[in-house]
Structure 1
Amino acid sequence: MRQVTIPDTATIRATLASGFLIGITLIGLPLQALSVTAKLPTARWIPVIYHRLACFGFGVRVRTKGRLAIDKGSVLITANHVSWLDIVVLGQSRPLSFIAKSEVANWPIFGWFAKLQRSIFVNRTRRSETGKVAKAIAERLAQGDAMVLFPEGTSSDGNRVLPFRSALIGAASAAMSTASEANQNETSTTSAPSVWIQPVSIAYTAVQGLPMGRQHRPLAAWYGDMELMPHLWAILKEGALDVTISYGEPIPMDDSVNRKQIAQMAENEVRAMTRAALFERRIAKQ
């Protein structure tokens, strides 16, 4: 008699979750494409709804500490980068736009998502494009979009924060100055609106309700030469990740500090918040 192999619970769960994610993608992609093409207000909120549903599908529970300082003025978020999942856990909170490396635009599926979320793509090997990037950032900030930058330039193993690169922060600061001048001219006031750099920490803290130790964090972290699809499938099979998003104190952009100082200040705060989130989770379960 031929033996029938019964899928394990994790495989069944991953299969069902995949079907759910494919379903919301088939609905969300054309709606977002229409919204972006027609410049409808829904272009900002469809990605938020999609990311919230995606968090449900992946089994990701997001805990937030602090808040985004959008009431202060234009905001550039500087966050550490752990995984492709960072886009989902950040994007579920409110309308955000990402500054991504140019290679992302050519990724299958994820490249479409990035384009439809109106990401700004940066070729890090061409410094001549800095002015173009700065102008694009300025336009988006003037529209009220909160921008997200991953200054590490790559993803880490989730146990540490890599040094922040200051080049794009410099481009963003120039862009925000341009946005401030534009807004000042429009409102005919003597003082430009405030612009801020806000450090944000992403810390994957638990799996299946248990603290995620250093050796288990690669389950969430996607770095090095890891292949995308096997990593995605592993997360779908696990189905229960906790992540803490910590919003730090906004840093005002002014002439008193340069881009390298701002990058270092943001890096220090992100590193401190990440350590606190990882350590807090371990202590709570002891």
Structure 2
Amino acid sequence: MVSARGPGARKRVGQAILHHYFRFAAWLFGLELQLQGPIPPGGSLIVANHHSYFDIVALAAATPCLFLSKAEVSRWPLIGPGAVAAGIAFVKRDSMRSRKAAMEAIHDRLRSGFTMVNFPTGTTCRSDETLRFRPGLFNSVAGTAVTLAPVSLRYEDGAADWVGDATFLGHLIQLAGRPRLRVRVVFHQTLNAADFEGPRLRERCEALVNEAPAFPLAD
């Protein structure tokens, strides 16, 4: 029996905190979510494209979830405090030991019924670009009972893109001056990782995520 005060309970509280925190952040910054497709069940592994720190806000506002995030996110304004409070798993990408521990954390939380989010490109790109997914995550879950949930994030324009030399705070202040920022969040049909080998699983998720139609959308 899981203790009401054990690690699992604390993560569930953290997941709820994260969900409500980022719903508030979405409202505060005028982030308008347009959701398409069924929300994946608890215990799914969401894999999504990555253009902005607002990707985190959009996904966490859309559905209760936890993230695997790079270590520096813990120090970001707005996002960092919520991530730390929610018990997000942070990884130092240049450390093999840290990457291994992060992968173990993903599997542990999935087995406990938490929805996890990963951005398998490992970095952001402009809205008119696509990047290849890194293979490590897909090789790790291929052949297991993990449910993969590919998700496409499509912004109304490129204003949200956080790329190049833009500083986090400067970019955030610029976006705060906009009355509205619309993003379409497309939840694709889930995949059973047990049915795939790693390379094919990566290719399938990458194709679904990158082929989703972009804006404009009808009001």
Question: Per the shorter chain, which TM-score range?
Answer: 0.7 to 0.9
Residue of 17, 23, 41 corresponding to 1:70: 41
Residue of 189, 197, 209 corresponding to 1:249: 189
Does residue 72 of structure 2 align to residue 121 of structure 1?
A: no
Which residue in 2 is equivalent to 1:102?
Answer: 71
1:235: how far off? 1.0
Asked if the contact 1:195/1:252 (under 8 Å) is kept, the reply is: yes
Distance in 2 (CA, whole Å) between partners of 1:63 and 1:39 is: 30
Residue of 154, 160, 174 corresponding to 1:203: 154
Which residue in 1 is equivalent to 2:14?
Answer: 43
Does residue 214 of structure 2 align to residue 277 of structure 1?
A: yes
Give the partner amino acid of 2:208. E
3-state SS, counterpart of residue 62 of structure 2: coil
CA offset digits 1:156-214 (Å, max 9, x no partner): 1112221111113333x17x94xxxxxxxxxxxxxxxx421111001111xxxxxx3xx
1:262: how far off? 1.1
Does residue 133 of structure 2 align to residue 164 of structure 1?
A: yes
Counterpart mapping for 1:116-155 below 5 A = 116-155=85-124
1:127: how far off? 2.8
Give the partner amino acid of 1:204. Y
1:149: how far off? 0.5
Which residue in 1 is equivalent to 2:199?
Answer: 260
Distance in 2 (CA, whole Å) between partners of 1:220 and 1:121 is: 23
Which residue in 2 is equivalent to 1:61?
Answer: 32
1:108: how far off? 5.1
Bigger relative contact order, structure 1 or 2, given CA contacts below 8 A and separation 6+?
2
Give the partner amino acid of 1:48. H
Distance in 1 (CA, whole Å) between partners of 2:176 and 2:103 is: 37
Change in Cα spacing, 1:148 to 1:106, as seen in structure 2 (3 Å) is same
CA offset digits 1:264-286 (Å, max 9, x no partner): 1111111111xx133x53xx58x
3-state SS, counterpart of residue 35 of structure 2: strand
Change in Cα spacing, 1:100 to 1:40, as seen in structure 2 (3 Å) is closer
CA offset digits 1:10-30 (Å, max 9, x no partner): xxxxxxxxxxxxxxxxxxxxx
Residue of 175, 178, 185 corresponding to 1:235: 175
Structure 1: gaps (5+ residues): 1-35, 178-193, 206-211
Greater Cα offset, 41-50 or 140-149? 41-50
RMSD: 2.5
Structure 2: gaps (5+ residues): 1-6
Give the partner amino acid of 1:270. V
Change in Cα spacing, 1:169 to 1:101, as seen in structure 2 (3 Å) is farther
1:142: how far off? 2.0
Distance in 2 (CA, whole Å) between partners of 1:267 and 1:98 is: 19
Distance in 1 (CA, whole Å) between partners of 2:74 and 2:137 is: 18
Overall identity of the aligned pairs, in %: 30
3-state SS, counterpart of residue 55 of structure 1: helix
Which residue in 2 is equivalent to 1:19?
Answer: none
Change in Cα spacing, 1:138 to 1:241, as seen in structure 2 (3 Å) is same
Structure with the higher fraction of residues in helix conformation:
1
Change in Cα spacing, 1:169 to 1:40, as seen in structure 2 (3 Å) is closer
Distance in 2 (CA, whole Å) between partners of 1:100 and 1:252 is: 24
* Structure label with greater radius of gyration: 1
Asked if the contact 2:17/2:85 (under 8 Å) is kept, the reply is: no
Which residue in 1 is equivalent to 2:53?
Answer: 84
TM-score, normalised by the number of residues in structure 2: 0.87
1:130: how far off? 4.2
1:222: how far off? 0.7
Q: How many residues align?
A: 214
Distance in 2 (CA, whole Å) between partners of 1:122 and 1:40 is: 17
Distance in 1 (CA, whole Å) between partners of 2:25 and 2:76 is: 19
